[in-house]
Structure 1
Amino acid sequence: MALFERMSSFYHNQFKHFARRVQKLPVFCKLVLSAVLLFYISLIVLAIVFRPARIAQFLYDLAQRISSHPAGWILLVLMITAVSCPPMIGHTFMLEICGFAYGIRGFWVAAAGSLFGSAFVLVVLRYMFSERVREWSSKNKRWQALETVINAKGLPLIVLIRWSSFPPWPYSNMLFSSIQAVSLFQFMLATICIFPRFLLYVFVGSRLASLSDGKQRHEMDTQTKVINSLFVVGGLSIGVLAGYIVYTLMEREMRGVSPEVEQLAEEAIEEADEGAPLLDNFSSDSVRV
């Protein structure tokens, strides 16, 4: 019960933090965010109008067409690469689609796409924005503090940040692209360390696939449907629990330096959700040191 209360408090605090961030955004950014929110609300309304079962069947049929094509896995790898680039979203969804298309074997497609996509983002963003990053980080105390902590803690902290749900996948790629202290080898190794999380999402997708296909669903007995549904709910619950545990471990791992540096480093990770330093303009609160 205490764990549930701590998790509720954690996600509640994350929501309040997001709300505060939104309030500080310029009017144009608020309009863009409102448009995105309206888009997702429209998707939910369409899902209700056209019924979730029909949408699930459409996704299942689409996934089967992909898996039946010899180059289907290449298409999925390219799509995973695309959603690995900030500010795109949908990485978890694409991993579940791998489960839709190939069952548990889709893990290899999900792993290859995620590994290639993250490496692509790191190399391209460092090549394109290296000068901007150096100029930006030299003025930003938060980013300097984060680099200090990562230099001190090394690979274990990098792995925990990769495991954490905050920042989301594409912004995590962007975050490490902007930290020169993180080598490509360390970044790839940390990405490989989170393959179990990818396997969980693919497994959830494979269970959802059997429930999404009308023919398979009608042939299932009630017990099988309940078991598959429990697998899906259990998998999602494990993902939420793991996200909380890993974030807590990440905060604990960041300790051991001065409190001021630790606080600034945590703020830098939160700042990554906004696209700094590669996607935003130079922050108005950046401070020369």
Structure 2
Amino acid sequence: MSNVLVTGGAGSMGRLVSEKLINDGHQVNIFDLPQANYEGFDNSKTKIFKGNLNDSSIEESILEVDTVIHLAAILPPTANINLELTEKVNVDGTRNLLSCIEKINPNIHIIFSSSVSIYGKNLDNSTIHLDNTANPDDHYAKTKYDSEVLVERSNINHTILRISGVSIPVFQEPPSEWPFLPNQKIEFIHRDDVVTSICNSVNNKEAYGQMFNISGGKSWQITGEKYVKDYFEILEVDMENALYQKEEGHFSWYQSSKSNKILQYQNNNYENYLAQIRQDLNNLMGE
């Protein structure tokens, strides 16, 4: 087992990753902002480090770790509104983290959480492969791509995970506008499978030096219209109420067979996700 640092470890995804790492037997360091919520962590299995990616506070957290899982980032929509903050956290923060690792603990394996948004809008609706040219077309995607470049150019052993849109298995109010076109190919991924892909990269020599597309797999390869139709059927709402954005979103189908073979994370199929949404809604309705 390893000592693992999770940046952004007190966030929603960071908590799930940290909990799974602990359950898998790892010792976990949590690094996050001073104002983050640290309640619920087991002090016997975690160490809390409060600070900022852009200063020396990160140094102590990496002293005795084998692996760094770098999740800390500004996400959309804030990432595409507060451009200066996003650049400072997503790019400058990653640069400082890498510099500290190279200076203090250069044998670390870093697992970097990136995004399929770096491919840009998929105008021809084709399946995305890793060798597709990156074409980031908003600020968030650009900062993720710039951070990937920093990671790849470093002297640090690394794994880069380009993660697709994450579907959370709890009922949520439909958005005012769905972030894709009706006929657009989309392939989201169950939240728990994202967690598994990240955690299964730890101590995985087959993942060293690799970049992967992380997506739901074949059962999740549908169209935007089908996703909305299935969701509205659970809500018993007429499809005529569905509004879509006017241009393609950052979604497609992805070649992920290699990543799943190595990381073994595609465990929750699309039908399972729908069943969980249906059950959660029934629970909310007291049924």
| More contact order relative to length (CA 8 Å, sep ≥ 6) | 1
Richer in strand (by share) = 2
Same fold (TM over 0.5): no
Over alpha carbons, which structure has the higher Rg? 1
Q: TM-score w.r.t. structure 1 length? A: 0.24
- TM-score, length-scaled by structure 2: 0.24
Q: Which has the higher helix share?
A: 1
